[in-house]
Structure 1
Amino acid sequence: MKSLDVMVIDDEPVIRQMLAAHLLKAGCNVVQAGNGEDAFERLSKGDIEVAICDIKMPGISGIELVRQARAAGIDTSFIMMTAFASVDTAIEAMQAGAADYIVKPVRNEELQHRLLKINDMRGLRAENRVLRSLVQGRREDQFEFNSTAMRELGRLVDKVSPTASTVLVTGESGTGKGVVARRIHQQSPRANAPFIPVNCGALPDNLIESELFGHVKGAFTGADKARKGLFLEADGGTLFLDEIGELPLMMQVKLLHVIEEKSIRAVGSEQSRRADVRIVAATNRDLAQMVAEGRFREDLYFRLSVFQIPLPPLRERRADLMPLMAFLLQRGAERMGLARVPSLEPEVEELLMAYQWPGNVRELEHVIDRALILADRGQVSCADLPPQIVKDATPLLAAQPAEGVDGAWLASPGDSLRDQVRRFECTLIARAIRDADGDRRLAAQKLGMGLSSLYRKQEEFETLGLL
């Protein structure tokens, strides 16, 4: 059971102190109140998860306290205590909004059992919120990549996912860093716990601390209600800090402290709380360069980059383009309610394969969505593409393969049979592209292979230095 923040409310000091001692021994954070008035004031800060409350108290009774807390929107779970084993009293407490009911004298084992049940119940509520988010979320992570670079990335993700290591995902904007972060979470032991993404660059400077760590009621002007904060929302799960390079230096210090101490303190609170959160960060910036320039803390950089995963741009993994286009066409058609998925005219495939994709997967997705809206007769034509893509990609289609590749197949001393076959394949593909005047689709047809396979082979040969 994770550490709970518990309040013991009873007008008898001996009972309060005995229960508090047991709860502290069980690993809970404990505060006490001797009456309903003091208890309500403390509960209004919004950081108490469970209240163990006597029903019979002078002034505000336990049941009235529950009613007031519910009316004020306080999310604390109440376990009611009474010396009278009355079914009517139990029903009244539950109707007021209590979560459970226990009879005095309270046995430690019984109280521990009730706390475990409350903890599970609160966890299920959080999990339901996450599941609703996932059902409504995006589905890029269902796509399986084909390129050598992305297969290597998949191997890294598989290695690090089951661990508790902090991960730093780097790469250009639009390459899919968020998809990688979510896959790390889904393949981890925390998969059933929350995955909370936060864009550090989108948080206002004056609200970053409150957004991440929460605040109590009255902590600052306008804080008329307690806020839990994203770290506690992600408790037991993963917090994805996207665009971490945009975090101000002041907050970098506080984030480093949270990562090292595994505890947070809400704005306006004097109590620290444990937070069991795995950090996955991402950036399109060169953090090492930012460290050298004094714009990013070196100690935080080392903490975040325990395990780095570099994500290559789309132009360096063209073997993924054709299957990724098919995936986005299918998904886009479903989202727009189209009767069938439009196909791409051969010229469109050629242009999209030749384009450099500075905006990476995000740009490709926008281009596909635009094409689906404009497409007529069930086919996407060149007229459905943004004019800039046609303008930039057309000259690339006419590019000739590198000079001198005809000799690439010749064996070098010590070459294995596999190396010689690769060299021979490289020569045949380069010659076919040259003979087709740079038309890779025609070259692929003459070679009896798919266009995506041809690009995949080219990528492989470039990686090996054969092209």
Structure 2
Amino acid sequence: MKSLEVLVVDDEPAIRQILAAHLGRAGFSVCQAGNGTEAFERLSRGDIDVAISDIKMPDFTGIDLVRRARAAGIETSFIMMTAYASVDTAIEAIKAGASDYMIKPVRNEEVMHRLEKVRDMRRLSSENRVLRNLVLGSREPLFGFVSSAMKALERLVAKVAPTDSTVLVTGESGTGKGVIARQIHQNSLRADGPFIPVNCGAIPENLMESELFGHVKGSFTGADKARKGLFLEADKGTIFLDEIGELPLALQVKLLHVIEEKTVRPVGSEQARRADVRIVAATNRDLRQMVAEGKFREDLYFRLSVFHVHVPPLRERRQDIPGLVHFLLQRSAKRLNNGGEISIDADVEEILSAYDWPGNVREMENVVDRALILADEGRITRADLPPQVARVAPPQRTGNGEAGGESLREQVRRFESTVICKAIADANGDRRAAAQKLGIGLSSLYRKLEEYEALGILPELVDSRQR
């Protein structure tokens, strides 16, 4: 069994360490947590496939851990352990969202069997999701983009994701090329395999071959143990080669060989090893120009750009700015533990829409974080913006005092109404379930629906007066 990241959660160190050691010997990547709080923090990173958790813990129960993870949108599979056998406890664990249940003391063979089952379930779920997307053409948008450029990009991603085609993602720094690469992986048949990101510009040239392809023990000074390399770590999954334009010419030749032969040869080894890896590469440089200048191999360029996806900068898709600001505000508020209401002054909304965002989404994340930290009582004013953003002149106003076109607040309301109505439709009209999915109270949902209906921006699929 490969490509499962496992978290072992138990307040008894001996049990936790013995189980973790066994799983490590079996080839799993294993981490540990001694209580529910520590486990939830680790799960929040989003890279754990399976959590094997005790039910009785000092801070909160394993069942509470499952509930918190599901409420936070964490898709980790849970296998629960307990020394107190009870049918009621088992039913409660499964209802909370656990996949399986074991009675202590657990046998190693039983643990392996349960992990096999979970792996098969996750693989089947991934394949079903991809096949459903292929048949119905339906998939979740990246961030609810509304611009025609990003809708076209989403359609391209939906088409190429289920294939094994090599993809080249281009665009300015900070446009979200890494997000696109991960989206391709998550909507592929390799979704349950590893996703290994590599920044080709951050690895020293003399270490890059070893990092990518591995080495055998003693192959060079300091190689005191063998290393299998990132390509082999990505086996059955996807490797994301970011900043591919920074790859030295000597390594470009070796990468071309890997793509063509689907094998890697570790440094110091005479034996090639099979690498079943999909490659997604990204760059903010003009590779065609680099080819003309002799700085990038033409044959490698054509191998990498079998399918080309270009991510336009924010200044070319301003319709997406309101939705992105809304998304980043909510995400930053959770990360910064800001649980109160967040409001933005009207002139700030207009400034954010008028600003050119040379750093694109990455710059917007920093601006939003700064504004939330500086804001008094959750109200973001012009004074909370960085100087280069704050000095941007808002759009000229018309004679009635309103800015030409929709303001950011109006666009955010329109975006939010679409998200809420989609959640209600997905819940088959169950507003309570939709509110829970959105993380808001039922009364807040009704209040927003009434507000949007009064403004005339409520989509036809929902009538706020229906109860």
For the 8 Å contact 1:440–1:451, the answer to whether it is kept is: no
1:369 counterpart = 2:369: yes
Residue among 394, 397, 409 paired with 2:395 = 397
For the 8 Å contact 1:141–1:179, the answer to whether it is kept is: no
Q: For residues 437-466 of structure 1, what are the alpha-carbon distances to aligned partners after superposition, in whole Å with 9 as ceiling and x for unaligned?
A: 78237x769xx9647879xxxxxxxxxxxx
Aligned amino acid, residue 366 of structure 1: N
What is the rounded CA distance, in whole Å, between the counterparts of 1:288 and 1:436 in structure 2?
Answer: 50
Counterpart of 1:306 in structure 2 is 306
What is the rounded CA distance, in whole Å, between the counterparts of 2:250 and 2:400 in structure 1?
Answer: 59
What is the rounded CA distance, in whole Å, between the counterparts of 1:320 and 1:286 in structure 2?
Answer: 25
Aligned amino acid, residue 248 of structure 2: P
Within 5 A, what are the aligned runs for 1:77-226?
143-226=143-226
For the 8 Å contact 1:199–1:243, the answer to whether it is kept is: yes
Counterpart of 1:80 in structure 2 is none
Counterpart of 1:282 in structure 2 is 282
For the 8 Å contact 2:146–2:319, the answer to whether it is kept is: yes
Counterpart of 1:260 in structure 2 is 260
Q: CA deviation at 1:434?
A: 4.9
Aligned amino acid, residue 440 of structure 1: G
Counterpart of 2:404 in structure 1 is 440
Counterpart of 1:251 in structure 2 is 251
For the 8 Å contact 1:141–1:180, the answer to whether it is kept is: no
For the 8 Å contact 1:156–1:309, the answer to whether it is kept is: yes
Counterpart of 2:291 in structure 1 is 291
Aligned amino acid, residue 288 of structure 2: A
Q: Alpha carbons of 1:315 and 1:368: their partners in 2 closer, same or farther (altered >3 Å)?
A: same
What is the rounded CA distance, in whole Å, between the counterparts of 1:141 and 1:222 in structure 2?
Answer: 47
Q: For residues 289-322 of structure 1, what are the alpha-carbon distances to aligned partners after superposition, in whole Å with 9 as ceiling and x for unaligned?
A: 0000000000000000111001000111111111
For the 8 Å contact 2:290–2:296, the answer to whether it is kept is: yes
Two-structure CA RMSD over aligned residues (Å): 3.4
Within 5 A, what are the aligned runs for 1:279-428?
279-391=279-391, 393-394=392-393, 397-398=395-396
Q: CA deviation at 1:350?
A: 0.7
Counterpart of 1:105 in structure 2 is none
Aligned amino acid, residue 179 of structure 1: V
What is the rounded CA distance, in whole Å, between the counterparts of 1:326 and 1:76 in structure 2?
Answer: 42
What is the rounded CA distance, in whole Å, between the counterparts of 2:402 and 2:338 in structure 1?
Answer: 35
What is the rounded CA distance, in whole Å, between the counterparts of 1:233 and 1:440 in structure 2?
Answer: 53
Instruction: Give the secondary structure class of the aligned counterpart of 1:202.
Output: coil
What runs of 5+ residues in structure 2 fail to find an aligned partner? 3-20, 29-111, 124-139, 416-467
For the 8 Å contact 2:372–2:378, the answer to whether it is kept is: no
Q: Alpha carbons of 1:347 and 1:277: their partners in 2 closer, same or farther (altered >3 Å)?
A: same
For the 8 Å contact 1:350–1:440, the answer to whether it is kept is: no
What runs of 5+ residues in structure 1 fail to find an aligned partner? 3-69, 78-116, 129-139, 399-432, 455-467
Q: CA deviation at 1:146?
A: 1.4
Q: Alpha carbons of 1:341 and 1:142: their partners in 2 closer, same or farther (altered >3 Å)?
A: farther
Q: CA deviation at 1:436?
A: 5.5
Q: Alpha carbons of 1:227 and 1:451: their partners in 2 closer, same or farther (altered >3 Å)?
A: closer
Q: Alpha carbons of 1:257 and 1:339: their partners in 2 closer, same or farther (altered >3 Å)?
A: same
Q: CA deviation at 1:390?
A: 1.7
What is the rounded CA distance, in whole Å, between the counterparts of 1:74 and 1:191 in structure 2?
Answer: 24
For the 8 Å contact 1:240–1:280, the answer to whether it is kept is: yes
What is the rounded CA distance, in whole Å, between the counterparts of 1:296 and 1:450 in structure 2?
Answer: 43
For the 8 Å contact 2:314–2:357, the answer to whether it is kept is: yes
Aligned amino acid, residue 397 of structure 1: P
Q: CA deviation at 1:145?
A: 1.3
Q: Alpha carbons of 1:453 and 1:288: their partners in 2 closer, same or farther (altered >3 Å)?
A: farther
Q: CA deviation at 1:330?
A: 0.6
Aligned amino acid, residue 160 of structure 1: V
Structure 2 length as normaliser, TM-score? 0.58
What is the rounded CA distance, in whole Å, between the counterparts of 1:342 and 1:234 in structure 2?
Answer: 41
Instruction: Give the secondary structure class of the aligned counterpart of 1:279.
Output: strand
Q: Alpha carbons of 1:340 and 1:444: their partners in 2 closer, same or farther (altered >3 Å)?
A: closer
Aligned amino acid, residue 348 of structure 2: V
Q: For residues 73-121 of structure 1, what are the alpha-carbon distances to aligned partners after superposition, in whole Å with 9 as ceiling and x for unaligned?
A: 99889xxxxxxxxxxxxxxxxxxxxxxxxxxxxxxxxxxxxxxx99x97
Count residues in correspondence: 295
Q: CA deviation at 1:144?
A: 2.2
Instruction: Give the secondary structure class of the aligned counterpart of 1:206.
Output: helix
What is the rounded CA distance, in whole Å, between the counterparts of 1:243 and 1:453 in structure 2?
Answer: 36
For the 8 Å contact 1:343–1:378, the answer to whether it is kept is: yes
Identity of aligned residues (%): 64
What is the rounded CA distance, in whole Å, between the counterparts of 2:293 and 2:400 in structure 1?
Answer: 50
What is the rounded CA distance, in whole Å, between the counterparts of 1:436 and 1:170 in structure 2?
Answer: 43
Q: CA deviation at 1:349?
A: 0.4
Q: For residues 241-300 of structure 1, what are the alpha-carbon distances to aligned partners after superposition, in whole Å with 9 as ceiling and x for unaligned?
A: 000000000000000000000000101111100000000000000000000000000000
What is the rounded CA distance, in whole Å, between the counterparts of 1:168 and 1:450 in structure 2?
Answer: 32
For the 8 Å contact 1:262–1:275, the answer to whether it is kept is: yes
Instruction: Give the secondary structure class of the aligned counterpart of 1:397.
Output: coil
Instruction: Give the secondary structure class of the aligned counterpart of 1:201.
Output: coil
Q: Alpha carbons of 1:143 and 1:213: their partners in 2 closer, same or farther (altered >3 Å)?
A: same
Instruction: Give the secondary structure class of the aligned counterpart of 2:201.
Output: helix
1:234 counterpart = 2:269: no
Q: CA deviation at 1:143?
A: 2.0
Counterpart of 1:5 in structure 2 is none
Aligned amino acid, residue 340 of structure 1: G
What is the rounded CA distance, in whole Å, between the counterparts of 1:201 and 1:237 in structure 2?
Answer: 22
Counterpart of 2:16 in structure 1 is none
For the 8 Å contact 1:196–1:238, the answer to whether it is kept is: yes
Q: Alpha carbons of 1:75 and 1:254: their partners in 2 closer, same or farther (altered >3 Å)?
A: farther
For the 8 Å contact 2:398–2:404, the answer to whether it is kept is: no
Q: Alpha carbons of 1:301 and 1:344: their partners in 2 closer, same or farther (altered >3 Å)?
A: same
